[in-house]
Amino acid sequence: MKIITLLTDFGSFYPAQMKGVILSRLGDKATEITFVDIAHDIPPQDVRAGAFALLSTARYFPAGTIHIAVVDPDVGMDRMGLVVESGGQIFVGPDNGLLLPAARSLGGHGGSPQAPQAYKIAVSQEILGTGQGQASNTFHGRDIFAPVAALLASGKSPASMGPRVRPKDLNFGAARKTDSGFEATVIYVDRFGNLILNMRDVPAFSVSLKGIKLKAVRTYAQARRIEPLITLGSHGFAEIAVNQGNAAEAFRLKAGDRIELEEI
Amino acid sequence: MKIITLLTDFGSFYPAQMKGVILSRLGDKATEITFVDIAHDIPPQDVRAGAFALLSTARYFPAGTIHIAVVDPDVGMDRMGLVVESGGQIFVGPDNGLLLPAARSLGGHGGSPQAPQAYKIAVSQEILGTGQGQASNTFHGRDIFAPVAALLASGKSPASMGPRVRPKDLNFGAARKTDSGFEATVIYVDRFGNLILNMRDVPAFSVSLKGIKLKAVRTYAQARRIEPLITLGSHGFAEIAVNQGNAAEAFRLKAGDRIELEEI
Amino acid sequence: MKIITLLTDFGSFYPAQMKGVILSRLGDKATEITFVDIAHDIPPQDVRAGAFALLSTARYFPAGTIHIAVVDPDVGMDRMGLVVESGGQIFVGPDNGLLLPAARSLGGHGGSPQAPQAYKIAVSQEILGTGQGQASNTFHGRDIFAPVAALLASGKSPASMGPRVRPKDLNFGAARKTDSGFEATVIYVDRFGNLILNMRDVPAFSVSLKGIKLKAVRTYAQARRIEPLITLGSHGFAEIAVNQGNAAEAFRLKAGDRIELEEI
């Protein structure tokens, strides 16, 4: 069996085209594929939000999994397509940093033997398929990344897809200690309106946001109903929530916003 | 083959983490799994709406199906996790009533031999997995319920998950006859804006809502375009709709609202 | 293996009921099924938008694929259910034009030997199943089309489902040349706010919309950030976009709107 996950900002029907391409290319081997949709509602062209969702999710999949991720504001420009191998899993997508935090989380860092290995996709007739002259200028997910995933699922190696390259990286920055507390950035807003921050720990002292105290808790249940709180989320980042409420609405914040957490 | 369904209020990417955990735990047996997503857009923390969606859907699945359902405002409190067996199907989720209407719909009631059997999940190292000390305080769906579903899919019995318990129940109430008509509650608002009520029959006499007559019909096609109507939905509950329109918008109603149906 | 796709305007949990019915009916053969969701967020009862999504997607699937599509404002009226065979793929759904553009795109046109073959579904006890007297008046997707798809997946022929009929057709119209430019219709608005038009080519001369020039480009990357553009989309229709912005919001347009493209 081969597990293929998909993460995009495409909404509906375009992801199904990618699955159709993969199933068509694999022919009889298509029976061995299990698709898992990670998300198709990443905010349009928000590479950082996509990278966060992929980073949070990839570690739960077994070795051998192939992840196709496409959040790609620069499709049609001369940015490369990548195949990245790390920790026994394979990532396919644009070279804009989307794949790197997830890939790094599975392997070593820097020059370690387990560091992610990245290969530039050399677009070939084998990828484009018969009867099609060239890839669409607007939909590499379907015309390049899906066929590449099918080739990988049928046993081709990542290294056979093209030359080794040094991929573009992305990091979420890090919350910064200031005189009065912390400066942090909202990476992601989930469906509950929880604000996920680029902080790996909850501050050791009490903090407020926009003048409102955030109760530091281990679990939401330690807060009263509608009480603002800060906790270490299941993804390993600090998150600000309103217990059984919506923090994004309450604090009028969205992905990408900078915030100040004041020590109190 | 084992069918595993998922119903949550998580939106995107958290359900994929649950699937990743299940596939990882099953190893070679993962080929036998077919996932079906029931819904991940249940209104946040609306246990009753989730229970309605599960109740409406479970009966269409074959014996042997495992349903994981997580709508869990009290995650992190000391509420139990449950495995419930009924009518040959198995339900896994929090002990807050979410699973019970669906489980009851498949088996007998009260003390009958087919009544649902409920077991409290005794969290063990086998569930938590190696290398992980404890479950996340905020995401039991991934850290407890998904591993339990994997164990059940690999052949473990519900009874092996923990001691028999009497689960927390949930019912949708029942519309009440009043002097002037009926008092009912909106259980669920579907994508068309149809208002699903806690009524198992359409009133035998003509009724109005907020002064507007509802045409009692067997099928939407019996109403004119944009005509308000009441009918028995495919789920077995009465629903108020506006033919080719949106009743929730027209009547400004939402899940949880009480309504008066006046006899006219 | 049999691939079954689903396209509806149902939102959540109703599509899972359809999958449950199919898996239940197939019994041991259910292991051979791979479900692919095309879309469940088609604008309610917008048959044309559904037909566009199906047309754009079906061609990427292999021969043997069964597509169930349900966007059905007239459910419960005496419109027929259809099975349509074209280019080795099979379509199941209402006879309201939804299936025809996709079916035609796979086969020949008019009287050619490869023209789509359409059969009216003769509702039988084999379709309705044991213990159920009749189909729901409001949910043919679950009670008729899903069982028919299960029968087809288990090897029954389209022709065995009922008599040959001439199906209701649907076309997207065609943009019309006017004295000052083109008159076109918005068929679909995608998640990025891109406006997909009933035009198969980008005009050869410069055009404006509501007084704003649209840059004709081969790829989004040829436009500046937030620049309005017109291009030939990956689906083969012209689309108007705002590079890294939202054209539907910027021009205040939605599916079904007529627009004038002025030559400049």
CATH class of A176-263: mainly beta
Ranges A77-81, C89-93, C128-132, most confident: C89-93
| pLDDT score, position C110 | 54
Distance from CA of A226 to the nearest CA of B (A): 12
- Mutation target among B215, B219, B240 for the C interface, most CBs of C within 10 A: B219
User: Which C residues 176-235 touch B at CB under 8 Å?
Assistant: none
Nearest chain A CA: its distance from C183 CA (Å): 25
Q: Is residue C62 classed exposed, middle or buried when 0-12, 13-18 and 19+ CB atoms within 10 A define those classes? A: middle
Pair type for strands C238-242 and C228-232: antiparallel
pLDDT in tens, C21-35: 999 999 988 988 999
Interface check A74 vs C, CB under 8 A: yes
The answer to whether the C2-161 and C176-263 domains have the same CATH topology is: no
Determine, for residues B61 and C23 on separate chains, whether the beta-carbon distance falls below 8 Å.
Answer: yes
Which two three-digit tokens encode residue A32? 């061995």
Report in angstroms the alpha-carbon separations of C221 from A184, A246, C216, C239.
Answer: 32, 36, 12, 15
The yes/no answer to whether this complex scores an ipTM above 0.95 is no
Q: Flag whether pLDDT at C259 surpasses 70.
A: yes
Question: Which 114-133 residues of chain A touch chain B by CB within 8 A?
Answer: none
Cβ neighbours for A145, distance < 8 A, ≥ 6 positions apart: A18, A68, A70, A81, A92, A93
- R_g of chain B, CA atoms, integer Å: 20
Buried b (16+ CB within 10 A) or exposed e, B65-88: bbbbbbbbbbbbeebbbbbbbbbe
Q: Which residue has the higher pLDDT, C12 or B132?
A: C12
Q: Give per-residue burial for A205-217: e unless 16+ CB within 10 Å, then b.
A: eebebeeeebebb
Long-range contacts of B223-231 (CB under 8 A, 24+ apart): B230/B202, B230/B203, B230/B261, B231/B202, B231/C137, B231/C138
Contact residues on chain C for A35, CB-CB shorter than 8 A: 34, 36
pLDDT in tens, C187-225: 999 999 999 999 998 988 889 999 999 999 988 888 898
How would you class B59 by CB atoms within 10 Å of its CB: exposed for 0-12, middle for 13-18, buried for 19 or more? middle
Average pLDDT value for residue range A76-84: 88
Q: Give the β-pairing of A66-70 and A89-94.
A: parallel
* pTM: predicted TM-score of the whole model, two decimal places: 0.94
Spell out the residues 6+ positions from residue B242 whose beta carbon is closer than 8 angstroms to its own: B193, B226, B227, B228, B229, B250
Q: Which CATH architecture has domain B2-161?
A: 3-Layer(aba) Sandwich (3.40)
Q: Answer whether C160 touches B (CB < 8 Å).
A: no
| Per-residue pLDDT reduced to its tens digit, B63-91 | 999 999 999 988 777 789 999 999 999 99
3-state secondary structure of A81: strand
Strands C258-263 and C181-189: antiparallel
Note whether C95 and C83 are within 8 A (CB).
no
A7: number of Cβ within 10 Å: 31
Kindly determine whether residue C38 and residue A12, on different chains, have CB atoms separated by under 8 Å.
yes
Task: Compute φ and ψ for B15, nearest 5 degrees.
Answer: -60, -35
Q: Measured at the alpha carbon of residue B72, what is the angle toward residues B67 and B75, in degrees to the nearest 5?
A: 120
Pick from A13, A19, A77: which is nearest to C39 by CB? Answer: A13
CB contact under 8 A, A57 and B16: yes
| A48: enclosing H helix or E strand | helix A47-58
Residue B51 has pLDDT above 80, yes or no: yes
Q: Which of A148-152, B137-141, C170-174 has the lowest mean pLDDT?
A: B137-141
From CA C102, how far away is CA C55, in angstroms rounded? 4
Q: What is the pLDDT of residue A109?
A: 56
- Judged by a CB distance cut-off of 8 A, whether residue B21 touches chain A is yes
Q: Where along chain C do its domains lie?
A: 2-161, 176-263
Q: What is the reported pLDDT for A209?
A: 96
Q: Which residue has the higher pLDDT, A206 or B99?
A: B99
Distances (CA, A) of B93 to A245, B37, B70, B97, C159: 22, 15, 6, 9, 45
pLDDT band, residue C1 (cuts 50/70/90) = confident
**CB under 8 Å to C157, separation ≥6 — which residues?**
none
- Residue C37: closest CA among C9, C73, C62: C9
List residues bridging with B85 in a β-sheet. B90, B117
Hey, what are B193's tokens? Answer: 């804006």
Evaluate if residue A254 carries a pLDDT over 90: yes
C5 and A13 in contact by Cβ < 8 A? Answer: no
Whole-number pLDDT of residue C111? 53
With CB atoms and an 8 Å threshold, state whether B76 touches A32: no
> Measured between beta carbons, which residues in chain C are less than 8 angstroms from residue A256?
none
- Tell me whether residues B16 and A3 touch, CB distance under 8 A: no
Whole-angstrom distance, CA of residue C83 vs CA of residue C146:
12
**A91 close to A122: Cβ distance less than 8 angstroms:** no
**Number of residue pairs across A and C with CB atoms under 8 Å?**
85
Per-residue pLDDT of B239-260, as tens digits, reads 999 998 999 999 999 999 999 9
What's the pLDDT tens digit per position in B179-236? 999 999 999 999 999 999 999 989 888 899 999 999 999 888 888 989 999 999 888 8
How distant, in Å, are the alpha carbons of A206, A263, B247, C42, C68 from that of C75?
58, 61, 18, 16, 15
CB atoms within 10 A of CB B174: 12
Chain centroid offset of residue C102 CA: 7
Q: CA–CA separation, A254 vs A190, rounded Å?
A: 10
Beta-bridged to residue B39, according to DSSP, are B7
Within a 10 A sphere around the Cβ of C29, how many other Cβ atoms?
15
pLDDT > 90? residue A60: yes
The stretch A181-200 carries a mean pLDDT of 94
**pLDDT higher than 80, residue B161:** yes
Calculate the average pLDDT of chain A. Answer: 92
